Amino acid sequence: MAVYRFALPSGPFKTYAYLSVPHCIGWTSSALQSHIANWLHKTMAELEWQVCADYALEPIVNTSTDRSERPAIQESGGFADTSQLTGMVYCRGGIRGVGTVRRDWMGDFQRLELTTIAPAYRAAEGSEGWDEFGGREVEDALAAYRLLGSFPWLRARPRVLMGFSRGSITATQAALRLPDLDALVLWGGVSNLLATYAERADLRSTLRRAVRATPSRHPDLYRRRSPLYLAHALRCPILVMHGTADAQVDFHHATQMAQALQRSGQRVVTHFYQGMGHHLPRPIHEAVLERMRDELREFERLAPISDARPQNQHDPQNQHDPQNQHDPLKQAGSRISSTYRSMSTRLPYRT
C-alpha cells in the first residue's frame, strides 16, 4: 500500500499534496508521476515526487528528463471494473503543523476504492503561502479537484469533497465553486467559526493570526469562514457525520448545519455517532468509513453521473480566484435538480 506526496501548484504558490489510488487501477508509481507531470506541463524530473511506504517518506530518485521516456499511460477502457470507483478530495483538519494529513486514512480510502488527493495546505509541510483558516487556501482544494478530474478512470465517476474538522470550512467553500461536484461530506466539522472562537480559548490567538481579525471587530470575516452561513448556497447532496461527545468540535456544529441545510431544501443525510468523540477507535473508524462510502453510492444512485462533463475546468491553468469580485453566495453554481431539492434526513446512527 503506497501513498504519494508531490508538489502541486496552487495559485502563485508551490504547495504539497498526497495521493492514494485503488489497487484495481494498476498504475505504477512511475505511471502516476508521469500523468501528473504531463498534466502540469512538467517533466518527471521537474515534479517533486515521493512515495510513502508504511507511512514513512522515501524519496524516488528521478533519472529521466526526457518526456519520451515516460511510461505509456493506460486510457479508460483498459481498467478493471470501475463502476464502484469514486474520486475524493480530503480536506484535513488543523492548521500548519497541527493536524496534518492522516496518511493511514489515505490507506483506508484506497482500500475503499476511493481515489483521493489531500492538500497539505499552504504554510504546512514545506508548502509556500499563508494559511488563512478558510481564506485563499481554498485554491489548494480546487487545484486538487482539477487534478482529480484528469484521471481517466474518473471521467464518468462521482467526485466528492470531504472535510474533516476545520477542513469542513475549506471543503464547503470549494463546493460553492464547483457546479459539477457530486457530494460534500462534513465529518466532525466546524460549521460556525464565531462559535469556535467563543468555545475554544486555546485557539483564539491562532484564529486571530490566521484571520487577521477578531470576531468583535470583523464578524463578517468569520461568517465567510462558517459553513453554517453558506449552507443555503450549496447545490449537491451533503453528508454530515459527527460524534455526539466530540470535545474539540461541539456536536451542535453538526445539528445546526443539518438544520440549516434542511431549511434551505437541501438533500442532507446525517450520521451521528452516540458517545463518540472527534477521533474514533480503529474498528469504529473503519465501519464509519464503509458507511460513508455506501452513502456516497446511494447519492450516486439517486443522481447518476453524466458522461458529458466539461473538460476545460480541469486544466491546471484554469485557476479559480477565491478572492475575486464574484461572491460565492451569489455565484454558487447553476446545476440543481429535483433530487437535491427534496430534503432527506435519517435517524441518528448509533454505534
Which of the residue ranges 89-103, 228-242, 325-339 would you say has the lowest mean pLDDT?
A: 325-339
pLDDT surpasses 90 at 342: no
State the pLDDT at residue 232.
Answer: 95
Mean pLDDT throughout 304-317?
53
- pLDDT band, very low/low/confident/very high, at 131 (cuts 50, 70, 90): confident
| pTM: predicted TM-score of the whole model, two decimal places | 0.82
* pLDDT recorded at residue 38: 97
Highest mean pLDDT out of 162-176, 310-324, 335-349: 162-176
pLDDT above 70: residue 111: yes
pLDDT digits (tens, 9 = 90+) for 264-295: 999 999 999 999 999 999 999 999 999 999 99
Question: Rounded CA gap, 297 and 15, in Å?
Answer: 31
Q: What is the side-by-side strand order in the sheet with 114-119?
A: 56-59, 49-53, 2-10, 13-20, 114-119, 86-91, 159-164, 183-187, 238-243, 268-273
**Residues 110/22, Cβ–Cβ less than 8 Å:** yes
More confident of the two residues 143 and 328:
143
SS3 label, residue 186: strand
Tell me the pLDDT tens digit for each residue of 64-82.
Answer: 434 333 333 333 334 455 6
Q: Which residues pair with 118 in a beta bridge?
A: 18
Binned at pLDDT 50, 70 and 90, residue 340 comes out as very low
Q: How far is 260 from 164, CA to CA, in rounded Å?
A: 19
Backbone φ and ψ for 103, nearest 5 degrees, come out as: -70, -25
Q: Which residues 6+ apart lie within 8 Å of 183 measured at CB?
A: 158, 160, 161, 236, 237, 238, 239, 296, 299
Higher pLDDT, 337 or 196: 196
Contacts of 88 (CB under 8 A, 6+ apart): 109, 114, 115, 116, 117, 148, 159, 160, 161, 162
pLDDT one-digit tens code per residue, 14-47: 999 999 999 889 899 999 999 999 999 999 999 9
Mean pLDDT along residues 159-170: 96
Q: What's CA 93's distance to the chain center, in Å?
A: 11
Residue carrying the nine cell digits 497539505: 120
Averaged pLDDT of the chain? 82
Given this model, what pLDDT does residue 303 score?
76
pLDDT tens digits, one per residue of 208-219? 988 999 999 999
CA distance 29 to 104: 18
